[in-house]
Amino acid sequence: MKRRPASTDQPLNVTPLIDILSNIVFFLMLSISFVHLRMVSASITQASDSNDLDTETALTVTVMMGDYGYRANARDPQKKPTEGGEEKKDFPKVGDKWDNDGLAAWLRGIKLRAPKSDSVIITPEPSVPLSRVVDAMDHCREAPVQGGGGMMPTFPKVVLSSLVK
Amino acid sequence: MEGGIRKKRHKKHHTEELNIIPLIDITANLLFFLMVGMDLKEKAEAGEKVELPVSSSKSQEEVSMVRVAVTKEELLLEGVKQASLEGGKIARSDINKDGFLGKLRAELEKKRKAIEASGLDMTLEKNKPVVFMLADRSLEYDTVELVMRTAGSAGFPRFRFGVLSK
């Protein structure tokens, strides 16, 4: 008995291919995250950090965070506090709301007076949630330009510190 | 009658060939874009348990980093558990007498020595070791600060916090 040669002109069956591809697409869509991860830079205080500061031109800007809100301080190492070398400002919390805009505006003013300053030391109290700390870092890093028209970088180098226990 | 049935059958078999090339093209494109957009790595390491803080930061820089995830239940270094958390605080048993996280510090010191042994010029800004921290936004600062202080003592004083863009 002779076998019939396999026919070559049969239409291609694409159903398994479509099945497999649609399954792959389904699993990929399940595993995909439409989350766009970004980064916020920070460092902790180190003994060598003081060498990086240009004390001739840079101010020491610190922001404390706690139940009281923000307590900001800008100090000129070249002048005594009594000679106008220190500027302080409190931004109390209103209920649960932090005065982020007030802090950003104050820091913008400091930046305009001392353009070479680019570091800020944030010292949160132990109970402050991380989300609030990140918020503070955002508002220290940049501020809205006065009169609108985008954002200007203020203190992009953020150092996180802690209160001595 | 018989002839009529045969005619009908003949018509049924006469189908046009399906052109699947556009389908394959579109599917391949779809797959490509899905794979580019995939963010499986972060998910696997953080175990999807971390609710990241939200930030206006646009930074997405590529630097060599050691990944630390702090969920409400555990602290992971490159996906390996280093300490437990109880009520959002690191378990006392995981804190050594110096006030650091003993296991995390030992592991980070090993990593730092490995980086140093690789011959990288650590004085260059781009080569300075960085910790990429995926920490839950509800954690209190003292928990995060303990992790940072431990990393700092092991030679990793620089951090990048993973955040979600606003």
State the first-to-last Cα distance of chain A, in angstroms, to the nearest integer.
96
Tell if the CB–CB gap between A12 and B39 is shorter than 8 Å. Answer: no
Residues B64 and B86 in one domain: yes
Residues B25 and B53 in one domain: no
Whether B98 contacts chain A with CB within 8 A: no
**Cβ contact B68:B80 at 8 Å:** no
What pLDDT, on the 0 to 100 scale, is given for residue B117? 87
What pLDDT, on the 0 to 100 scale, is given for residue B144? 94
What pLDDT, on the 0 to 100 scale, is given for residue A3? 60
What pLDDT, on the 0 to 100 scale, is given for residue B101? 94
Choose the most confident range, by mean pLDDT, from A114-123, B31-40, B59-68, B124-133: A114-123
pLDDT tens-digit readout, B69-120? 999 999 999 889 999 999 889 999 999 998 999 999 999 999 988 888 888 7
What pLDDT, on the 0 to 100 scale, is given for residue A160? 93
pLDDT tens-digit readout, B18-51? 777 778 877 877 777 777 666 555 554 554 577 8
- Structurally, chain B folds into a number of domains equal to 2
Residues B56 and B22 in one domain: no
Residues B66 and B88 in one domain: yes
Q: Cβ atoms within 10 A of the Cβ of A106, count?
A: 22
User: What are chain A's domains?
Assistant: 55-160 (3.30.420)
Tell if the CB–CB gap between B161 and A21 is shorter than 8 Å. Answer: no
Residues B72 and B154 in one domain: yes
Residues B18 and B82 in one domain: no
Residues B144 and B86 in one domain: yes
Residues B64 and B130 in one domain: yes
Residues B149 and B117 in one domain: yes
What pLDDT, on the 0 to 100 scale, is given for residue B20? 78
What pLDDT, on the 0 to 100 scale, is given for residue A5? 61
Chain B: nearest CA to A15, how far in angstroms?
Answer: 10
Residue B94, C-beta contacts closer than 8 angstroms, at least 6 positions apart: B75, B82, B83, B84, B101, B102, B103
Choose the most confident range, by mean pLDDT, from B46-55, B120-129, B155-164: B155-164
What pLDDT, on the 0 to 100 scale, is given for residue B1? 46
Residues B156 and B81 in one domain: yes
Residues B30 and B51 in one domain: no
What pLDDT, on the 0 to 100 scale, is given for residue A47? 62
Among partner residues A25, A40, A44, which is closest to B160 by beta-carbon distance? A40
What pLDDT, on the 0 to 100 scale, is given for residue B39? 55
Among partner residues B53, B59, B145, which is closest to A134 by beta-carbon distance? B53
pLDDT at position B147 over 90: yes
In Å, what is the CA distance from A70 to each residue of A59, B97, B129, B161? 18, 33, 31, 21
pLDDT at position A49 over 60: no
Tell if the CB–CB gap between A127 and B59 is shorter than 8 Å. Answer: no
Residues B66 and B113 in one domain: yes
Which domain does B8 fall in, by range?
Answer: 2-39
